[in-house]
Each structure stands twice: as C-alpha cells, then as structure tokens.
Amino acid sequence: MQGWLPLVPESASTFSWQVDALYFYLSGVTLFFVLLISAVLIFFTIRYRRRTPYEIPRPIAGSHKLETLWTVIPFVIAMTMFGWGARIYFEQYKPPQNAIEVYVVGKQWMWKLQHATGQREINELHVPVGRKIKLIMTSEDVVHDFFVPAFRTKADVVPGRYTTLWFEATKPGKYHLFCAEYCGMNHSGMIGSVYVMEPREFDNWLAGNTGSSTPAAAGQQLYQTLGCASCHGANGEGGRGPTLAGLFGRPTQLEGGQTITADEAYIRESILNPGAKIVAGFTPIMPTFQGQVTEDQLVQILAFIKSLPGGTRAQGAQGTASPGASPAASTPAASPASSPAGSPTGNVR
C-alpha cells in the first residue's frame, strides 16, 4: 500500500506524482522554516539568557526593512504554492472529453457503480490502465465522498446534484477506496477497492460480467414507461416538448434570454423541477417527476438522453446502446431496494 517512500501512498494515477511533487515542496519549505525558527529560538534563548537578576537589555523598536522583508518573502513563497496547487487543481476538476464514463451512486453505507456498458459493481471499481475515466456521481441520501488515496483525488457526492471526478490510472493493482465524508453509523465501513487492470484483462472482465442492460437501454425503457415520449417524441425528436436528440452538451437558450449548457445537472433538474428553466419558445407545462424516480433511474434516463444521436457525447468506445435496440432481459432492479430520490428516512428528535 505504501509507495516508494514510506511517507506516501502508492502512486497510481497521472495526478499522483504531481501532487507528491508539490507536497514535497511544501514539506521542504515547512521543514526549512521550522528548523530555522527553532534553531534561532534555541540559539537566542541560550545566548541571551539572563545573567544577572536585575539587568535590562537595550530596547529595540523595530525595523521597517525587516518587516518588509519578512512580509514580502513569505508572500512570494505563498504565491508559488498557490499557483502550483491551482494549476494541478484546475486540471483535476476539468473532466476531459472522451473519457470512459462510470456512474456512481453513494448511499449509506455502500458504493453502487455502473459502467456505461452495463456492468454493475458494489464497493468495487474495475478500470483499465492508461485510459481516462470519468465518474459521474450522486448520493441517494447524505453527503459522502469518493476517495482513492493512490490516485490523490476525491470529490464529495451530494444528494440532489451530480459531481464528477476523473483520473487516468498508471499502474495496475488494487487500491483503497474510502468514503471521506462522515455519513453516519457505518462510515468507516463504506470502503472498497479500485482494480486497475491491463487492457486485455479489463476486456475479459467486462465480457465476464454482463447480465444487466446498459444504463442507456434501461433509460430508454423508463423513457417509454414514464411517458416522456408523449411530449418529447419516441426518439427524442420533440413535439410539445423540446427536442432531446442532440441536446446533451449543447448550448440551449432559455425563456428570458439566458443561455446554458445542457449538462447532466440541467437534465436532472429538468426532470425533477421542470419549471426552473424553460426552453425558449416553450411553455412550462411539463409535470415534475420528483418522488417518482430513484437516483439510479435518473442516471439511466440521463445515459439514454446522452446516447441519442447528435449530442456532443454519443456513447463512446464501449457503446452498444443506441435507441431502439432492445435491452437484455430484466428491469434495472438488481440493486438493493432504494428509496425514491431524496426522500428522508429516520426519526426526528
């Protein structure tokens, strides 16, 4: 589990060495100043110890030059730290295009993951080495946090919204997955493993684990059963409601002149709170589906809409889910019973 130095974890992503380098810089500067101040303190305390009981030293008021020096130098050092950290962070939180997507739903006290190709995992994530992986995450209940120390990255998963995390694994192996936001009784048990595999091994794993339909196919079923087709068209071509085919990722103009990008958050919001953003030229007649869809189902509908042709994110390398393709077998109820999105449980005191 430990990396090349007992003080750092294994390095398994393209971020790891970057963060470690900055960490060592910070440690070096810290060590320098701590040793400097300690040495000076010890030296002064010995050199200027009181020798006679009633002596008074010469008062020294101060020195503007010194004050400037030890304000400016620390500030400059601080800015290097800031700049370096900000640069890496910007990259960490800018999800790349063309990444393999995995949907993550956190709930008390487990991680449910589903690959775009349909494979489901509980508390485990299998990924190929050397590919960019993007996690689209939400929570069914409270705030959790998806943390993989070996990748040096984490992000909160928040009920009511999607958060994303991305990484590119560099070394095959098995790495800790922790929940890193206190979430109740079994917070320390909400752990698992990330398996990074060579590409062939990963393909084998994929092949050996199909059985449930892809999220997009399941989403298409929901699209029909929930009645979306009646306003948005059987294939998302539009009608009384706006066109969904080609919508994802594109700028969309709203009533009132504002233009927004139709991302995951927008689609989720439009299902749960349709009145919040009305597309220009349409009236606010869409009913809300709050309480009628679970987080898992929302993710599936989202995957379906993303798969509709014309958008910026048609199903990528793994894709088999095109509209109209009949899904394999069952309804997406393989996971333990989940409550409708966002409803509270528990006593009140």
Residues 66-95 that bind another protein (CB under 8 A): 66-67, 70-71, 74-75, 78-79, 81-82, 84-90, 92-94
Instruction: Rule CB under 8 A: say whether 55 interacts with another protein.
Output: yes
- Residue 312: count of CB within 10 angstroms of its CB: 14
Residues in the interface with another protein (CB under 8 A) total 109
Q: Shortest distance, CB of residue 135 to another protein, whole angstroms?
A: 13
Closest CA to 267 of 235, 232, 240, 218: 232
Subset of 128-187 contacting another protein (CB under 8 A): 141-143, 145, 147, 149-150, 152-156, 158-161, 163, 176, 178-187
Instruction: Rule CB under 8 A: say whether 270 interacts with another protein.
Output: no
Q: Are 298 and 271 in contact (CB under 8 A)?
A: yes
Subset of 22-51 contacting another protein (CB under 8 A): 22-23, 26, 29-30, 33-34, 37-38, 40-41, 44-45, 48-51
Stretches 112-120, 278-286, 299-307, 327-335: which one binds another protein (CB under 8 A)?
278-286
Cβ neighbours for 22, distance < 8 A, ≥ 6 positions apart: 81, 84, 85, 88
Cβ neighbours for 152, distance < 8 A, ≥ 6 positions apart: 11, 13, 15, 16, 18, 19, 20
- Residue 332: count of CB within 10 angstroms of its CB: 23
Would you say 66 or 207 has its CB closer to another protein?
A: 66
Would you say 40 or 122 has its CB closer to another protein?
A: 40
Would you say 24 or 319 has its CB closer to another protein?
A: 24
Q: Shortest distance, CB of residue 347 to another protein, whole angstroms?
A: 5
Residue type, 344: P
Q: Are 165 and 151 in contact (CB under 8 A)?
A: no
Output DSSP code: residue 168.
E
Would you say 109 or 202 has its CB closer to another protein?
A: 109
